[in-house]
């Protein structure tokens, strides 16, 4: 696995046997148990901790720990405890359950992240996955718990020569999750492990500096998916020029790094069935070009390829779990730099579709990349639907902040499927309006269209620009400028790049495109 943590499931009896063994010198054992707002544990957990119950109760009273959701209590060297360190984690429920009606605890994904944070880097722990009476868990609770823990353990410190945390020297976090019947969750655990690796891959791509992750290097890393059985095709500038991709190539012509188009294809569904297509904007660094950006925070523009990173991660997850679906991923990889060869405001380029575009602002470059990438995938692969992801506009940050990705679509069913998928895994989308009045704003006096409609409704006019290249194909555009990079820290992510969109696309394929 790519993550720096190990989660394995074992039956309670095996976990108890581990707890009876002496602790390794210098490696104190951690035992984690879940409690409700009455501080009650599950029956098996209570049995394992029965000799320490009185001390734990006193410690909870002294700390005013009530078992509320998101809170925890750490108790060291509790008399009678089978571990030097006991962590009680509150589920925030208990007394609300009526009679025998068990109330499900919903966010095991976040709970896994919270638990991993308490265990800490290099920690060795046994988690008693035993819920208090009155609480029940969904069928995927354990695998979601592990997924949250895996993702919380991710760090991007490859370029740090001095590690702040000495625990990192002790190797990965090692967690044994004890439960009644581990065999029932083994397949789901395997899937979650693949998904964790996929998100970590996307996070690392977003976090990498642009002097390392050039378009050719991005393409090379994406080509490693061949090991999973994903078919990979890489188009260089000569190949794209022959196809007429002047919109995409125009963005990268000021850079010394060559542009690339990467096509990732997974054929796990019925032979001949139309695929679902994902297209990612991959501007590995966006200076703005001749319409250069202000210096402040320009370093963040290394993350302007988060859409392509999400597509790469999703294709990794789909290939690793051998999804029974046909899926195509396309990455448009360029660098937007000012140079004597760079395109200028006022230039007119012809896209692969044959439509002409007036460049009025070279910093509205991502839509140019996507225009040719969308045309290519629709023309060559005839998808049943296409979804593009892009850190496209600052305007979506103004509208939605960092809580939601912006959703634009020409198809209500596809929009609904994406929204439901996002709700299921916590990567939320908000559908934005589209209409003819907005589309008129990108009409040009000199070409078929211009690449920006001005300040007002910036994310909407950008979506309308893309819509002109999809024809009647069901299409959705996800503007992830607020979620794809510089993401807020959460229980499951402490990284600048969150890998947002990987789990969303994987869920979409699982729920709506697999048999």
Q: Which residues are catalytic?
A: 293, 367
- Picking from 365, 397, 407, the residue whose alpha carbon sits closest to that of residue 485 is 397
Q: Which residue bears the tokens 């040009």?
A: 444
Q: Which residue bears the tokens 């004597």?
A: 340
- Picking from 454, 413, 463, the residue whose alpha carbon sits closest to that of residue 281 is 463
- How many Cβ atoms from other residues are within 10 Å of residue 280's Cβ? 37
Enclosing H/E stretch for 388: strand 385-390
Distance CA 453, CA 192 (A): 42
Cβ contact 9:100 at 8 Å? no
Distance CA 139, CA 279 (A): 32
Torsion of CA 74, 152, 106, 325, to 10 degrees: -160
Token code pair at residue 449: 């269209």
DSSP E strand stretches across 59-172: 72-76, 85-90, 103-104, 124-128, 135-136
* Radius of gyration in angstroms for the set of CA atoms belonging to the chain, rounded to a whole number: 25
Distance CA 283, CA 24 (A): 49
Contacts of residue 438, defined as CB under 8 A and 6 or more positions apart, other chains included, come to 453, 457, 460, 461, 464
């Amino acid at each position: 696995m790519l993550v720096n943590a190990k989660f394995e499931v074992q039956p309670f009896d095996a976990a108890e046997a581990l707890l009876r063994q002496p602790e390794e010198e210098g490696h104190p054992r951690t035992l984690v148990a879940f409690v409700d707002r009455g501080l009650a544990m599950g029956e098996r957990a209570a049995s394992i901790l029965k000799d320490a119950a009185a001390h734990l109760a006193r410690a909870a009273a002294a700390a005013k720990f009530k078992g509320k959701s998101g809170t925890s209590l750490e108790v060291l060297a509790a008399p009678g405890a089978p571990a030097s360190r006991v962590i009680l984690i509150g589920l925030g429920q208990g007394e609300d359950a009526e009679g025998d009606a068990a109330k499900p605890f919903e966010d095991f994904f976040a709970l896994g992240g919270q638990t991993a944070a308490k265990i800490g880097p290099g920690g060795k722990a046994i988690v008693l996955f035993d819920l208090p009476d009155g609480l029940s868990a969904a069928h995927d609770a354990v695998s979601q718990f592990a997924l949250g823990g895996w993702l919380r353990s991710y760090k991007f410190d490859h370029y740090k020569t001095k590690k702040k945390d000495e625990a990192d020297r002790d190797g990965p976090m090692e967690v044994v999750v004890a439960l009644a019947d581990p065999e029932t969750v083994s397949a789901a655990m395997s899937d979650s492990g693949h998904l964790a690796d996929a998100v970590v891959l996307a996070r690392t791509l977003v976090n990498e500096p642009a002097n390392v992750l050039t378009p050719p290097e991005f393409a090379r890393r994406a080509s490693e998916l061949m090991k999973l059985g994903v078919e990979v095709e890489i188009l260089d500038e000569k190949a794209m020029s022959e196809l007429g991709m002047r919109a995409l190539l125009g963005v990268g012509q000021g850079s010394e790094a060559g542009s690339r188009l990467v096509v990732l294809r997974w054929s796990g569904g019925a032979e001949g069935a139309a695929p679902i297509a994902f297209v990612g904007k991959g501007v590995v660094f966006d200076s703005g070009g001749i319409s250069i950006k202000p210096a402040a925070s320009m370093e963040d523009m290394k993350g302007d390829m988060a859409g392509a990173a999400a597509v790469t991660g999703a294709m990794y997850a789909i290939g690793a779990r051998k999804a029974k679906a046909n899926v195509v991923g396309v990455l448009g990889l360029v660098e937007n730099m000012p140079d004597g060869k760079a395109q200028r405001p006022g230039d007119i380029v012809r896209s692969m579709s044959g439509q002409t575009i007036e460049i009025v602002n070279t910093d509205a470059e991502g839509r140019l990349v996507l225009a040719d990438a969308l045309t290519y995938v629709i023309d060559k692969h005839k998808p049943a639907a296409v979804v593009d992801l892009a850190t496209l506009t600052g305007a979506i940050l103004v509208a939605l902040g960092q809580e939601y990705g912006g959703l634009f679509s020409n198809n209500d069913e596809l929009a609904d499927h994406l929204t439901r998928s996002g709700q299921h895994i916590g990567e939320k989308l908000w559908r934005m309006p589209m209409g003819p009045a907005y589309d008129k704003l990108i009409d040009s006096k000199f070409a078929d269209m211009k690449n920006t409609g001005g300040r007002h409704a910036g994310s909407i006019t950008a979506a309308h620009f893309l819509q002109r290249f999809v024809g009647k194909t069901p299409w959705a555009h996800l503007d992830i400028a607020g979620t794809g990079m510089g993401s807020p820290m959460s229980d499951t992510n402490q990284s600048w790049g969150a890998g947002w969109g990987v789990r969303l696309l994987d869920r979409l394929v699982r729920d709506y495109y697999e048999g």
